[in-house]
Structure 1
Amino acid sequence: MTAEASIAPALSYGRLIPVTVHFDDLDALGLLHNARYPLMVERAWTELWNEYGIRFDGDWEAAGDACNAVKELRIGYEAPVTRPGAYAVHLWLERLGNTGLTYGFRFCSTDGAVTYAHGTRVLVRLDAATLRPAPWSEGFRAAGRELLRPAH
Protein backbone atom coordinates (compact mmCIF):
# COMPACT_ATOMS: atom_id res chain seq x y z
CA MET A 1 0.00 0.00 0.00
CA THR A 2 1.42 3.38 -0.94
CA ALA A 3 0.86 6.60 0.93
CA GLU A 4 -0.97 8.18 -1.98
CA ALA A 5 -3.56 6.69 -4.29
CA SER A 6 -2.67 6.37 -7.94
CA ILE A 7 -4.23 8.68 -10.51
CA ALA A 8 -6.05 6.85 -13.30
CA PRO A 9 -6.53 8.08 -16.86
CA ALA A 10 -9.98 9.23 -17.99
CA LEU A 11 -12.49 6.37 -18.11
CA SER A 12 -12.43 5.01 -21.69
CA TYR A 13 -13.88 1.53 -21.11
CA GLY A 14 -16.16 -0.29 -18.69
CA ARG A 15 -18.60 1.34 -16.31
CA LEU A 16 -18.28 3.41 -13.16
CA ILE A 17 -20.83 2.36 -10.52
CA PRO A 18 -21.40 4.51 -7.41
CA VAL A 19 -20.99 2.81 -4.00
CA THR A 20 -21.22 4.07 -0.44
CA VAL A 21 -18.80 3.33 2.37
CA HIS A 22 -20.57 3.40 5.72
CA PHE A 23 -19.03 4.03 9.13
CA ASP A 24 -19.46 0.35 10.08
CA ASP A 25 -17.41 -0.68 6.99
CA LEU A 26 -14.32 0.77 8.67
CA ASP A 27 -12.03 -1.30 10.89
CA ALA A 28 -10.68 -0.42 14.35
CA LEU A 29 -8.06 1.88 12.78
CA GLY A 30 -10.70 3.78 10.82
CA LEU A 31 -9.77 2.22 7.47
CA LEU A 32 -12.09 0.46 5.04
CA HIS A 33 -11.72 -3.18 6.09
CA ASN A 34 -9.94 -5.29 3.45
CA ALA A 35 -12.86 -7.75 3.29
CA ARG A 36 -15.26 -4.93 2.35
CA TYR A 37 -13.57 -4.17 -0.99
CA PRO A 38 -14.68 -7.43 -2.67
CA LEU A 39 -18.15 -6.98 -1.13
CA MET A 40 -18.46 -3.47 -2.62
CA VAL A 41 -17.28 -4.79 -5.99
CA GLU A 42 -19.85 -7.61 -5.85
CA ARG A 43 -22.63 -5.12 -5.08
CA ALA A 44 -21.53 -2.92 -7.99
CA TRP A 45 -21.55 -5.91 -10.39
CA THR A 46 -25.00 -6.92 -9.13
CA GLU A 47 -26.30 -3.44 -9.86
CA LEU A 48 -24.73 -3.42 -13.32
CA TRP A 49 -26.01 -6.88 -14.31
CA ASN A 50 -29.48 -5.93 -13.01
CA GLU A 51 -29.45 -3.09 -15.57
CA TYR A 52 -29.01 -5.78 -18.25
CA GLY A 53 -31.87 -7.86 -16.78
CA ILE A 54 -29.53 -10.49 -15.32
CA ARG A 55 -30.70 -11.21 -11.78
CA PHE A 56 -30.44 -13.86 -9.12
CA ASP A 57 -33.54 -14.18 -6.97
CA GLY A 58 -32.61 -17.37 -5.12
CA ASP A 59 -33.77 -19.88 -7.75
CA TRP A 60 -30.71 -21.57 -9.26
CA GLU A 61 -32.73 -23.27 -12.02
CA ALA A 62 -34.08 -19.90 -13.18
CA ALA A 63 -30.82 -18.02 -12.57
CA GLY A 64 -29.35 -18.68 -16.03
CA ASP A 65 -26.11 -16.72 -16.37
CA ALA A 66 -26.27 -15.67 -12.71
CA CYS A 67 -25.56 -19.31 -11.82
CA ASN A 68 -21.80 -19.00 -11.60
CA ALA A 69 -18.95 -19.53 -9.17
CA VAL A 70 -15.77 -17.66 -8.37
CA LYS A 71 -12.63 -19.49 -9.45
CA GLU A 72 -10.11 -16.84 -8.47
CA LEU A 73 -9.97 -13.41 -6.81
CA ARG A 74 -6.93 -11.12 -6.80
CA ILE A 75 -6.82 -7.69 -5.20
CA GLY A 76 -4.11 -5.13 -4.63
CA TYR A 77 -4.44 -2.16 -2.32
CA GLU A 78 -3.01 1.19 -3.44
CA ALA A 79 -4.07 3.59 -0.67
CA PRO A 80 -6.32 3.43 2.38
CA VAL A 81 -9.93 4.58 2.37
CA THR A 82 -10.11 6.54 5.61
CA ARG A 83 -13.65 7.88 5.75
CA PRO A 84 -17.22 6.93 4.98
CA GLY A 85 -18.93 8.49 2.00
CA ALA A 86 -19.37 8.27 -1.74
CA TYR A 87 -16.94 6.26 -3.87
CA ALA A 88 -17.21 4.25 -7.08
CA VAL A 89 -16.22 0.92 -8.57
CA HIS A 90 -14.90 0.87 -12.13
CA LEU A 91 -15.90 -2.44 -13.75
CA TRP A 92 -14.90 -4.08 -17.04
CA LEU A 93 -14.29 -7.47 -18.61
CA GLU A 94 -10.74 -8.53 -19.40
CA ARG A 95 -11.75 -11.80 -21.07
CA LEU A 96 -15.05 -13.36 -22.10
CA GLY A 97 -14.72 -17.07 -22.82
CA ASN A 98 -17.27 -19.79 -23.60
CA THR A 99 -17.92 -20.80 -19.96
CA GLY A 100 -15.74 -18.37 -18.02
CA LEU A 101 -14.76 -14.75 -17.83
CA THR A 102 -12.26 -12.53 -16.12
CA TYR A 103 -13.34 -9.14 -14.94
CA GLY A 104 -11.28 -6.24 -13.74
CA PHE A 105 -12.19 -3.68 -11.14
CA ARG A 106 -10.92 -0.57 -9.42
CA PHE A 107 -12.25 0.79 -6.14
CA CYS A 108 -11.92 4.51 -6.74
CA SER A 109 -13.11 8.05 -6.22
CA THR A 110 -16.55 8.96 -7.57
CA ASP A 111 -15.03 10.40 -10.76
CA GLY A 112 -12.73 7.40 -11.27
CA ALA A 113 -9.60 9.56 -11.04
CA VAL A 114 -8.15 8.14 -7.79
CA THR A 115 -7.60 4.38 -7.33
CA TYR A 116 -7.63 2.87 -3.84
CA ALA A 117 -7.64 -0.82 -4.83
CA HIS A 118 -7.69 -2.85 -8.03
CA GLY A 119 -8.03 -6.47 -9.00
CA THR A 120 -9.48 -9.24 -11.10
CA ARG A 121 -11.92 -12.06 -10.53
CA VAL A 122 -12.48 -15.18 -12.62
CA LEU A 123 -16.03 -16.58 -12.84
CA VAL A 124 -17.26 -19.85 -14.31
CA ARG A 125 -20.85 -20.19 -15.56
CA LEU A 126 -22.45 -23.33 -14.09
CA ASP A 127 -25.28 -25.62 -15.10
CA ALA A 128 -27.70 -25.46 -12.15
CA ALA A 129 -28.47 -29.20 -12.25
CA THR A 130 -24.93 -30.57 -12.55
CA LEU A 131 -22.80 -27.66 -11.25
CA ARG A 132 -20.50 -28.29 -14.23
CA PRO A 133 -19.29 -25.48 -16.53
CA ALA A 134 -21.91 -24.30 -19.01
CA PRO A 135 -21.79 -21.73 -21.83
CA TRP A 136 -22.92 -18.15 -21.30
CA SER A 137 -26.13 -17.21 -23.11
CA GLU A 138 -25.91 -15.06 -26.22
CA GLY A 139 -27.68 -12.21 -24.39
CA PHE A 140 -25.06 -12.31 -21.65
CA ARG A 141 -22.25 -12.45 -24.20
CA ALA A 142 -23.68 -9.39 -26.01
CA ALA A 143 -23.79 -7.44 -22.73
CA GLY A 144 -20.31 -8.67 -21.87
CA ARG A 145 -18.85 -7.54 -25.20
CA GLU A 146 -19.94 -3.97 -24.35
CA LEU A 147 -17.81 -4.16 -21.20
CA LEU A 148 -14.64 -5.64 -22.74
CA ARG A 149 -11.51 -3.63 -22.16
CA PRO A 150 -9.71 -2.77 -25.40
CA ALA A 151 -6.47 -4.66 -25.94
CA HIS A 152 -3.61 -2.80 -24.33
Structure 2
Amino acid sequence: MTATARTVAAMPDAGVLIPLTVHFDDLDAMGMMHNSRYQVLVERAWIAFWQGHGLINAGRPGGDSFNVVKSFSVDHDLPVLTPGEYAVHLWTQKVGTTSVTAGFRVCSADGATTYAHGTRTAVRVDDTTLRPTPWSAEVRALAESIALPPA
Protein backbone atom coordinates (compact mmCIF):
# COMPACT_ATOMS: atom_id res chain seq x y z
CA MET A 1 0.00 0.00 0.00
CA THR A 2 1.30 3.50 -0.77
CA ALA A 3 2.31 5.83 2.03
CA THR A 4 -0.70 8.08 1.27
CA ALA A 5 -3.17 5.18 1.40
CA ARG A 6 -1.61 3.97 4.69
CA THR A 7 -1.84 7.48 6.13
CA VAL A 8 -5.49 7.84 5.12
CA ALA A 9 -6.35 4.39 6.45
CA ALA A 10 -5.01 5.50 9.83
CA MET A 11 -7.04 8.75 9.73
CA PRO A 12 -10.72 7.80 10.24
CA ASP A 13 -11.88 11.41 9.79
CA ALA A 14 -10.07 11.95 6.46
CA GLY A 15 -12.18 11.67 3.34
CA VAL A 16 -15.47 9.83 3.28
CA LEU A 17 -16.37 6.13 3.57
CA ILE A 18 -19.08 5.01 1.13
CA PRO A 19 -20.73 1.63 1.88
CA LEU A 20 -21.19 -0.68 -1.11
CA THR A 21 -22.11 -4.29 -1.79
CA VAL A 22 -19.98 -6.85 -3.63
CA HIS A 23 -22.27 -9.34 -5.36
CA PHE A 24 -21.65 -12.98 -6.29
CA ASP A 25 -21.37 -12.05 -9.98
CA ASP A 26 -18.49 -9.65 -9.16
CA LEU A 27 -16.34 -12.72 -8.45
CA ASP A 28 -14.36 -14.49 -11.16
CA ALA A 29 -14.00 -18.22 -11.83
CA MET A 30 -11.34 -18.44 -9.10
CA GLY A 31 -13.71 -17.01 -6.49
CA MET A 32 -11.99 -13.60 -6.29
CA MET A 33 -13.44 -10.24 -7.22
CA HIS A 34 -12.51 -9.65 -10.86
CA ASN A 35 -9.94 -6.89 -11.34
CA SER A 36 -12.33 -4.80 -13.48
CA ARG A 37 -14.90 -4.67 -10.66
CA TYR A 38 -12.67 -2.52 -8.45
CA GLN A 39 -13.06 0.38 -10.86
CA VAL A 40 -16.81 -0.21 -10.98
CA LEU A 41 -16.98 0.01 -7.17
CA VAL A 42 -15.01 3.27 -7.17
CA GLU A 43 -17.30 4.77 -9.83
CA ARG A 44 -20.37 3.69 -7.84
CA ALA A 45 -18.92 5.28 -4.72
CA TRP A 46 -18.36 8.61 -6.53
CA ILE A 47 -21.89 8.54 -7.92
CA ALA A 48 -23.29 7.88 -4.42
CA PHE A 49 -21.17 10.72 -3.01
CA TRP A 50 -22.28 13.28 -5.62
CA GLN A 51 -25.93 12.11 -5.51
CA GLY A 52 -25.90 12.41 -1.74
CA HIS A 53 -25.05 16.08 -2.19
CA GLY A 54 -27.70 16.68 -4.89
CA LEU A 55 -25.19 17.10 -7.71
CA ILE A 56 -26.32 14.30 -10.02
CA ASN A 57 -29.84 14.50 -11.36
CA ALA A 58 -31.96 12.13 -13.40
CA GLY A 59 -31.74 12.28 -17.17
CA ARG A 60 -28.82 13.44 -19.26
CA PRO A 61 -25.88 14.69 -17.17
CA GLY A 62 -25.05 18.36 -17.40
CA GLY A 63 -22.99 20.97 -15.60
CA ASP A 64 -20.55 19.50 -13.09
CA SER A 65 -21.91 15.99 -13.57
CA PHE A 66 -20.72 16.05 -17.20
CA ASN A 67 -17.16 14.87 -16.64
CA VAL A 68 -14.83 12.16 -17.87
CA VAL A 69 -12.18 10.03 -16.22
CA LYS A 70 -8.75 11.01 -17.52
CA SER A 71 -6.78 8.42 -15.57
CA PHE A 72 -7.41 5.57 -13.17
CA SER A 73 -4.81 3.46 -11.40
CA VAL A 74 -5.32 0.66 -8.93
CA ASP A 75 -2.97 -1.49 -6.89
CA HIS A 76 -4.36 -4.69 -5.43
CA ASP A 77 -3.38 -5.46 -1.84
CA LEU A 78 -5.61 -8.39 -0.82
CA PRO A 79 -8.22 -10.35 -2.78
CA VAL A 80 -11.93 -9.86 -2.07
CA LEU A 81 -13.08 -13.46 -1.68
CA THR A 82 -16.72 -13.25 -0.64
CA PRO A 83 -19.81 -11.27 -1.59
CA GLY A 84 -21.07 -8.92 1.07
CA GLU A 85 -20.78 -5.46 2.53
CA TYR A 86 -17.62 -3.47 1.81
CA ALA A 87 -16.81 0.22 1.37
CA VAL A 88 -14.84 2.62 -0.75
CA HIS A 89 -12.89 5.29 1.10
CA LEU A 90 -12.58 8.46 -1.03
CA TRP A 91 -10.53 11.62 -0.58
CA THR A 92 -9.31 14.39 -2.83
CA GLN A 93 -5.61 14.92 -3.41
CA LYS A 94 -5.67 17.85 -5.84
CA VAL A 95 -8.48 20.12 -6.94
CA GLY A 96 -7.55 21.93 -10.14
CA THR A 97 -9.52 24.34 -12.27
CA THR A 98 -10.96 21.66 -14.56
CA SER A 99 -9.76 18.42 -12.93
CA VAL A 100 -9.88 16.65 -9.59
CA THR A 101 -7.46 13.91 -8.58
CA ALA A 102 -8.76 11.69 -5.82
CA GLY A 103 -7.39 8.78 -3.90
CA PHE A 104 -9.40 5.74 -2.93
CA ARG A 105 -9.27 2.52 -0.95
CA VAL A 106 -11.56 -0.44 -1.57
CA CYS A 107 -11.88 -1.71 1.98
CA SER A 108 -13.89 -3.60 4.55
CA ALA A 109 -17.16 -1.99 5.62
CA ASP A 110 -15.49 -0.58 8.74
CA GLY A 111 -12.48 0.71 6.78
CA ALA A 112 -10.02 -1.43 8.74
CA THR A 113 -8.84 -3.73 5.91
CA THR A 114 -7.63 -2.41 2.55
CA TYR A 115 -8.13 -4.64 -0.49
CA ALA A 116 -7.02 -2.18 -3.17
CA HIS A 117 -6.00 1.45 -3.43
CA GLY A 118 -5.27 3.96 -6.15
CA THR A 119 -6.07 7.27 -7.76
CA ARG A 120 -8.64 8.62 -10.20
CA THR A 121 -8.55 11.93 -12.09
CA ALA A 122 -11.77 13.33 -13.54
CA VAL A 123 -12.05 16.34 -15.87
CA ARG A 124 -15.18 18.45 -16.20
CA VAL A 125 -16.06 19.00 -19.85
CA ASP A 126 -18.51 21.34 -21.54
CA ASP A 127 -21.49 19.27 -22.71
CA THR A 128 -21.55 21.08 -26.08
CA THR A 129 -17.89 21.55 -27.02
CA LEU A 130 -16.52 18.56 -25.06
CA ARG A 131 -13.58 20.76 -24.02
CA PRO A 132 -12.38 21.07 -20.41
CA THR A 133 -14.29 23.70 -18.45
CA PRO A 134 -13.97 24.91 -14.84
CA TRP A 135 -15.74 23.19 -11.97
CA SER A 136 -18.38 25.24 -10.16
CA ALA A 137 -17.56 26.84 -6.82
CA GLU A 138 -20.00 24.36 -5.19
CA VAL A 139 -18.15 21.29 -6.48
CA ARG A 140 -14.75 22.79 -5.67
CA ALA A 141 -15.88 23.41 -2.07
CA LEU A 142 -17.34 19.91 -1.75
CA ALA A 143 -14.16 18.34 -3.16
CA GLU A 144 -12.06 20.40 -0.74
CA SER A 145 -14.27 19.19 2.13
CA ILE A 146 -12.92 15.64 1.70
CA ALA A 147 -9.32 16.66 1.00
CA LEU A 148 -6.51 15.31 3.10
CA PRO A 149 -5.33 17.70 5.80
CA PRO A 150 -2.13 19.57 4.92
CA ALA A 151 0.99 17.58 5.72
Trace 1:19-38 onto structure 2 (pairs within 5 A).
19-38=20-39
Contact 1:104/1:121, CA 8 A, preserved across alignment? yes
Per-residue deviation, 1:105: 0.5
Structure 2 partner of 1:149? 148
Q: Deviations over 1:79-128 (max 9, x none)?
A: 00000011010011111011011011000011111100001011111011
Q: Deviations over 1:9-31 (max 9, x none)?
A: 14131100101111111000000
Cα distance in structure 2, aligned partners of 1:99 and 1:56: 20
AA aligned opposite 1:147: I
Structure 1 partner of 2:51? 50
Per-residue deviation, 1:52: 1.1
Contact 1:10/1:113, CA 8 A, preserved across alignment? no
Per-residue deviation, 1:142: 1.3
Report runs of 4+ in structure 1 exceeding 4 Å deviation: none
Trace 1:1-150 onto structure 2 (pairs within 5 A).
8-60=9-61, 63-150=62-149
AA aligned opposite 1:92: W
AA aligned opposite 2:121: V
Cα distance in structure 1, aligned partners of 2:36 and 2:126: 28
- Normalised by the length of structure 1, the TM-score is 0.90
Unaligned runs of 5+ in 2: none
For residue 98 of structure 1, give the secondary structure of its aligned residue in structure 2. Answer: coil
Cα distance in structure 2, aligned partners of 1:150 and 1:10: 10
Contact 1:88/1:111, CA 8 A, preserved across alignment? yes
AA aligned opposite 1:14: G
AA aligned opposite 2:48: E
For residue 35 of structure 2, give the secondary structure of its aligned residue in structure 1. Answer: coil
Cα distance in structure 2, aligned partners of 1:103 and 1:40: 14
Cα distance in structure 2, aligned partners of 1:56 and 1:149: 27
- Normalised by the length of structure 2, the TM-score is 0.91
For residue 35 of structure 1, give the secondary structure of its aligned residue in structure 2. Answer: helix
Cα distance in structure 1, aligned partners of 2:78 and 2:137: 38
